Amino acid sequence: MSAAPLAPAPTGLTAWQRLGRWLYLHPTALLWLCLILPLLWFAGLYLGSLLSLLWQSVFTFDDFTMTVLPDLTLDNYRQLFTPGNLDIVIRTVTMALVVSVADALLAFPIALYMALYASPRIKACFYIGVMLPMWASYIVKAYAWTAILAKDGLLQWILSHLGLEPALLWLLQTPIGGNTLATSHLGRFLVFSYIWLPFMILPIQAALERIPPSLLQAASDLGAKPRQVLTTVLLPLALPGVMAGSIFTFCLTLGDYIIPTLVGPSGLFIGTMVYTQQGAVGNMPLAAAFTLVPLLLIAIYLWFAKRLGAFDAL
């Protein structure tokens, strides 16, 4: 850069060409020029809005006048720990965990097949198959499921023809059941697992795709049986993908309010609670405090994952 002033001033150039040369000699200036707008957006709107949300969570909500007062308080966070609200958090987190585990179990074999065994043609079919439902409207899919799961709905009809109706009725009597599938925790779990499945398949598939085939051959060459290749090479190397996928499924379940509204028993989720607090009640501070819950949970989750070595392969 210090050589720039010593260079002979280019003569006979248009202003544009001079600007071009100046920028070529000052790459940092060019970098800032290209980055300043996206960076402003990122810092100001993307992160700033989150910070302002968190800031609101320490405001006071006056129950009597139903207005928000700018008096700082930790009351909203204290409220999270009242039995009713704690219930909501536990209910949501349990669902998020179960959905993440179920999706990981469903997604891994599919991702493994796509990444290591499928021909390019079949792989393309799988890509489309995985993503096609993602492109369809999410609310329509959730509604469709209410019809599938309804009393005497499609699922029950199929099960009754397979002679499995007693099993369904027995399941509905368990704590995860309800009057019908559509109003049971089980039903809600099915819909969540269905909707978020692509978000689990794609990152796992991407992680497995990066494994060179020679690595699997090397393991086998060194004496590992197929099961040992799976546990010592494939799973550890797929783990970052599983983590990425589970962060999607976990966060999306924690924040969702449409599926808990449409499917499953009454009883609020974090998403529906936030919606109620800010929409119907206008208690923005408590809603903001609730949004901190997923943030914290994910941070703890990532910290544990890192401690367990989930990102060692990256």
Partner 1 sequence: MTWAVEFSAVSRHYGKVKAVDKVSLQIEQGEFFSMLGPSGSGKTTCLRLMAGFEQPDLGAVRLSGINAVGLPPYQRDVNTVFQDYALFPHLKVWENVAYGLKIRGMGRGDRMARAEEALAMVALDGYGDRKPAALSGGQRQRVALARALVNRPKVLLLDEPLGALDLKLREQMQSELKRLHRQLGITFVYVTHDQGEALSMSDRVAVFNRGRIEQLDTPQQLYTQPQTPFVARFVGGANVIAAPLAERLTGEARPFALRPEHVHLVHDWQSQPLQVEGVLRQVHYHGAYSRLELDLGKEQTLAVQLPHGEGETVTLPEPGTRLTCGWSRQAMVPLREDGQEDGQGGAP
Binding site for partner 1 (CB under 8 A): 212, 214-215, 217-225, 228, 232-233, 236-237, 309, 312-313
Tell me whether residue 62 or residue 312 sits nearer to partner 1 (CB atom). Answer: 312
- CA 257 – CA 261 distance, rounded (Å): 6
How near is the Cβ of 204 to partner 1 at its closest, in Å? 16
Long-range contact set of residues 191-194: C-beta below 8 Å, sequence gap at least 24: 191/142, 191/145, 191/149, 191/259, 191/263, 192/95, 192/99, 192/253, 192/256, 192/259, 193/99, 193/102, 193/103, 193/106, 194/141, 194/145
Q: Which is nearer to partner 1, 94 or 232 (CB)?
A: 232
Q: How far is the C-alpha of 110 from the C-alpha of 242, rounded, in Å?
A: 13
Least CB distance to partner 1 at residue 45 (A): 37
Rg (CA), the chain: 26
* Shortest Å distance, C-beta 23 to partner 1: 36
Q: Which two tokens stand for residue 264?
A: 């499953």
Please state, in angstroms and rounded to a whole number, the distance separating the CA atoms of residues 261 and 268: 8
* Least distance (Å) between residue 241 CB and partner 1: 13
Kindly state the smallest distance separating residue 209's Cβ from partner 1, in Å: 14
Q: Of the candidates 174, 128, 314, 157, which has an alpha carbon nearest to the alpha carbon of residue 238?
A: 314
Contact 289, 54 (CB under 8 A): no
Nearer to partner 1, 4 or 222 (CB): 222
Nearer to partner 1 by Cβ, of 55 and 311: the residue is 311
Q: Which is nearer to partner 1, 87 or 312 (CB)?
A: 312
CB 61 within 8 A of CB 283: yes
The candidate with the shortest Cα–Cα distance to 241, out of 285, 282, 204, is 204
- Residue 295 or 305 having the CB closest to partner 1: 305
Instruction: For the CB of residue 105, give the shortest distance to partner 1 in the complex, in Å.
Output: 22
- The least CB distance from residue 210 to partner 1, in Å, is 10
> Would you say 170 or 311 has its CB closer to partner 1?
311
What is the H or E stretch that residue 35 is in?
A: helix 27-40
